[in-house]
Chains A and B, each alone.
Chain A
Amino acid sequence: MSSKKTIALVTGGSRGIGRAISVRLSDSGAFVFINYHHNEKAAAETLRIIRDKGGDGEICRFDVSDFTATQEAIRNIIEKKGTIDILVNNAAVSVDGLFVRATEQDWNDTIDTNLKGTFNCCRAVTRHMMKQRSGRIVNISSVVAEGGNAGQTLYSASKAGILGLTKSLARELGPRNIRVNAVAPGFIETDMTDSLSEENRAKIISQIPLSRPGTPEDVAGAVAFLVSMDADYITGQVIRVCGGIYT
Chain B
Amino acid sequence: MQLKRVVVTGLGALTPIGNNVEEYWEGLKNGKSGSAIVTHFETEKFKTKFACEIKNYNPEDYFDRKEARKLDRFAQFAMISSSEAIEDSKLDLEAIDKFRVGVIWGAGIGGIQTFQDEVMNFAEGDGTPRFNPFFIPKMIADIAPGNISIKYGFMGPNYTTVSACASAANAMIDALNYIRLGHCDVVVTGGSEAAVTIAGMGGFSAMHALSKRNESPETASRPFDATRDGFVLGEGAGALILEEYEHAKARGAKIYAEVAGGGLSSDAYHMTAPHPDGIGVVKVMENCLRDAGIGLDEVDAINTHGTSTPLGDVAELKAISQVFGEHASKININSTKSMTGHLLGAAGAIEAIASILAMEHSLVPPTINHTTIDENIDPSLNLTLNKAQKREVKVAMSNTFGFGGHNACVVFKKLS
A associates with B? no
